[in-house]
Structure 1
Amino acid sequence: MSDGEAKLINLAFRVGSVAEAEALVESTGGWSKRAMHDIDGEQFLEARFGGISINFFETALYDGKAEPARAGFLHASFAVPSLAAILENPDWSARLVWGPSTIRGGFGHRRIAFFEPLPGCRIELMEEIDD
């Protein structure tokens, strides 16, 4: 991936309760709630703080059954023009940890995959799919 091909879309955080995060967002200055979304039955909150989009999840798509659900930073999400081109790159494909998969919600229709280029550093790459 070269500079200029990826665009930061949002940061994602795990919280103990999306409902509690929603209440805090709605009652704290500087925050604005954009929407509640659903991916395969799991709700998440899309919010903004200043010009930054931040999503709050209780469960990440890539969570394993044995992985403890600790609150904190999950991943940064970037839009790319072609997820297939990224997956063809052996440097990226060797670091694939989940996906690719197609998701749909109020945010649109996307093909996504998660990568771990360094231990503990997860990145979501997404390609918008036109309906």
Structure 2
Amino acid sequence: MNSDDIKLVNLAFRVPRVEAAGAYADAVPGWSKTALHDIDGVPFMEARLGDVRINFFENAVYDEAPESAPPGFLHASFAVADLEGFLSDVHWRAHLTWGPAEIRGGFGRRRIAFFEPFPGCRIELMEEIDD
């Protein structure tokens, strides 16, 4: 595992309503709505601001009490070639907060895990799984 094997995929934000975020992305120059997806029935919108992919969720997969969670930044997502390599590393494993789990949606199939290496800094690592 080295830094060349890690690539920023997206930034994720919680919003009160995915539909409202989509309307904003459609109306404001610089933004573009690219897709609506869902993970286990939970909808999210993928958008772009310039070259950066940004995902908008009403609830995150790791939310324990989503009705009380405020809108705002959720996490940065990074693609990795081998999630198991990170999970087996004692330093990463010590900061695991959710997962690993397999998810499926319009984006394909992924194995994901969330880490919080520093307070308030949540990172998702994801490994693409070929179907």
Shift of the 66–128 alpha-carbon distance from structure 1 to 2, 3 Å rule, reads closer
1:46 aligns with 2:63: no
> What is the 5 A alignment of 1:56-71?
56-65=56-65, 68-71=68-71
1:55 aligns with 2:55: yes
Aligned residues: 131
Residue 14 of structure 2 aligns with which residue?
A: 14
Point out 4+ residue stretches in structure 1 off by more than 4 angstroms: none
Specify every segment of 5 or more residues in structure 1 that has no aligned partner in the other structure, as ranges.
none
State the Cα distance separating 1:2 from its structure 2 match: 2.5
Residue 28 of structure 1 aligns with which residue?
A: 28
- Measured on the aligned residues, the alpha-carbon RMSD in Å equals 1.2
Residue 103 of structure 2 aligns with which residue?
A: 103
What is the percent sequence identity of the aligned residues?
62
String of CA shifts for 1:94-117, please: whole Å, max 9, x gaps. Answer: 100000000111111100000000
SS in 2 for 1:23: helix
2:14–2:57 contact (8 Å) kept in structure 1: yes
Question: 1:84 corresponds to which letter in structure 2?
Answer: E
TM-score (norm 1): 0.96
State the Cα distance separating 1:67 from its structure 2 match: 7.5
1:122 aligns with 2:128: no
2:59–2:66 contact (8 Å) kept in structure 1: no
Q: Distance in 2 between matches of 1:75 and 1:99?
A: 14
